[in-house]
Amino acid sequence: MTNEIIVKLPEENYPIVIGEGVRQRFSELFKKHGQGRAFWLSDKNIVAAWDENLGGLCSNSHTDIIVMPPGEEQKQIATIERVCQILVTMGAERGDTLVACGGGVVGDIGGFAASVYLRGIPCVQIPTTLLAMVDSSIGGKTGVDLPEGKNLIGSFHQPAFVLIDVEFLKTLNGRQFRSGFAEVVKTALIGDASLYRSIEQGADDRCFQRDAATLIETITACVKFKADIVAQDEKEAGLRRNLNFGHTIGHALEALGNYAALSHGEAVFWGMTVAVDLSVQHGSLNHEIGQTIHQLLERYLKVIPAIHFRPKEVMDLILNDKKTKAGKPHFVLLEDIGKPIVTDQISNVILSNALEHLKHRMKRIKESS
């Protein structure tokens, strides 16, 4: 089974192809949607795990892959300069294309480099992590970090096409996979009640076992949802904000753990439990539905690290966030499964109580697992 979703934007449409082994269709898709020669960017881990197969895909491409070291530390402006210098050395021209084959880090760097190299060349996204497949490769956001914060420099640069081969997930470790699954659960909660039901009924186990058919179905649902939001709100004026469900608290926890104790997805899983509590507290979500969501989230939280934190530290991080408008944080809450609302009407007292509650929840889940 291969699925194809078309992202419809005012200036252009492009396809996202999802399937098992679909990387073999690279040449065919490139002929149709690519330009010039393909210059590949990837990281050491991916090349180590997939070298032969990637080599096979590059037959109509420049033969040398630009291989960068893995890791978020690479997301800095110096890497963009290096990638562009290598492109010059390789002779990449205006009419050529950069193919970013990797996780969100390679995707963000590749997309950004493509958007500025020779004032912009096309790029193709070939995501190899679950997070990149359901989230970062869709939507055209690219960028790098500054010492002052994550993703502070970047651009919008839509790819010529996105090729999602679920086979890449076979070599992704369990922690990385679970972390990406946080965005799948997030998508279900904010936008797809039927995806939520299928996860509840065991699609998550089949995904964790890397069952190709379930992965294709699940990833397709997430891609459809995100592609639709991007089509309606390409430059993040409003609707895209719903995608931040679980992320306001999640980002703060991730930062408190120095981006090491908790991965992004792990922090978002904890953040989503708080968002559910806040939704119930705020009166928008029925208590029973809140309980069933907590039960589902606990399946993953049992194997996710907990961190020590003081609620005040989390509050300070949220209230001082540069992106917080007029000092009032916005929270994405739920009215029902699949129905998000955005509010800035969460008092500090309610927030502080919810964070106390999170501490107890972390303790209870860790003691019982």
Ligand X SMILES: NC(=O)c1ccc[n+]([C@@H]2O[C@H](COP(=O)([O-])OP(=O)(O)OC[C@H]3O[C@@H](n4cnc5c(N)ncnc54)[C@H](O)[C@@H]3O)[C@@H](O)[C@H]2O)c1
Footprint of ligand X (CB under 6 A)? 43, 45-46, 49, 70, 72, 75, 102-106, 108, 128-129, 131-132, 135-136, 139, 141, 150-151, 168, 171-172, 176
Q: Write the single-letter amino acid at 182.
A: A
Under 8 Å between Cβ of 159 and 15: no
* Minimum distance of ligand X from residue 351's CB (angstroms): 24
Question: Of 306, 323, 303, 298, which Cα lies nearest the Cα of 257?
Answer: 306
- Measured distance CA(321)–CA(132) in Å, rounded: 25
Token duo for residue 364: 């209870």
* Minimum distance of ligand X from residue 129's CB (angstroms): 3
CA distances from 145 to 74, 154, 183, 224, 264 (A): 9, 9, 21, 28, 15
The yes-or-no answer on residue 31 being catalytic is: no
Nearer to ligand X, 44 or 308 (CB): 44
Token duo for residue 162: 């996105």
Nearer to ligand X, 102 or 122 (CB): 102
The yes-or-no answer on residue 141 being catalytic is: yes
- Measured distance CA(100)–CA(132) in Å, rounded: 11
Catalytic residue among 150, 175, 240, 330: 240
The yes-or-no answer on residue 236 being catalytic is: yes
Catalytic residue among 183, 217, 234, 254: 183
* Minimum distance of ligand X from residue 106's CB (angstroms): 6
Nearer to ligand X, 49 or 341 (CB): 49
The yes-or-no answer on residue 294 being catalytic is: no
Strand partners, 5: 16
* Minimum distance of ligand X from residue 128's CB (angstroms): 4
* Minimum distance of ligand X from residue 144's CB (angstroms): 9
Strand partners, 68: 43
Nearer to ligand X, 151 or 194 (CB): 151
* Minimum distance of ligand X from residue 263's CB (angstroms): 7
Nearer to ligand X, 43 or 266 (CB): 43
The yes-or-no answer on residue 287 being catalytic is: no
The yes-or-no answer on residue 52 being catalytic is: no
- Measured distance CA(156)–CA(154) in Å, rounded: 7
- Measured distance CA(60)–CA(35) in Å, rounded: 12
Under 8 Å between Cβ of 191 and 338: yes
* Minimum distance of ligand X from residue 244's CB (angstroms): 11
The yes-or-no answer on residue 73 being catalytic is: no
Catalytic residue among 226, 242, 254, 361: 226
- Measured distance CA(107)–CA(113) in Å, rounded: 10
The yes-or-no answer on residue 299 being catalytic is: no
Token duo for residue 31: 């002929």
Q: What is the 3-state secondary structure (H, E, C) of 227-278?
A: HHHHHHCCCCCCHHHHHHCCHHHHHHHHHHCCCCCCCHHHHHHHHHHHHHHH
Nearer to ligand X, 144 or 365 (CB): 144
Catalytic residue among 119, 235, 287, 360: 119
- Measured distance CA(368)–CA(361) in Å, rounded: 11
Nearer to ligand X, 136 or 158 (CB): 136
- Measured distance CA(177)–CA(329) in Å, rounded: 30
Catalytic residue among 178, 186, 244, 254: 244
The yes-or-no answer on residue 119 being catalytic is: yes
The yes-or-no answer on residue 322 being catalytic is: no
Enumerate the active-site residues.
119, 141, 183, 226, 236, 240, 244, 247, 251, 264
